[in-house]
Amino acid sequence: MDGIKYAVFTEKSTRLLGYNQYTSHVESKSSRTEIKHWVELFFSVKIIAMNNNRLPEKGRRTGPIIRHTMDSN
C-alpha cells in the first residue's frame, strides 16, 4: 500500500464519487498493474476500468540548455 499516497478532493473528484469513480495520488514510478493490484487489495473491490496519466517533467534552464529535474513527488 506504499504506492498510494493520498486521495484527491477537488470539485471534479467529488462529482465523480456519485458514479463510483475515485481519484488518488500515487507514486510516479508505479505501473498500471501495480496500482490496480494495490486498490483491489486495499479496498476489496474488482476494478473494471482504470484511467491514469503522467504529468510532464519540469524543465530547468541553465543557459541555452533545458534540463529535466527529478520528480519530487
Query: What is the residue-wise DSSP string for 50-61?
Result: -----PPPPEEE
- Tell me how far apart the alpha carbons of residues 39 and 1 are, in angstroms, rounded to a whole number: 8
Q: Which amino acid does the sequence have at 37? A: H
What is the average pLDDT across 43-66? Answer: 81
Output the DSSP codes for 7-62. Answer: E---HHHHHHGGGT---EEE-TT--HHHHHHHHHHHHT---S------PPPPEEEE
Question: At 14, is the pLDDT very low, low, confident or very high (cuts 50, 70, 90)?
Answer: very high
What is the average pLDDT across 5-33? Answer: 87
Mean pLDDT rounded to a whole number for the chain: 82
Domain boundaries, the chain: 1-47
For 55, the grid coordinates are 504529468
Q: What is the reported pTM?
A: 0.61
More confident residue, 34 or 4: 34
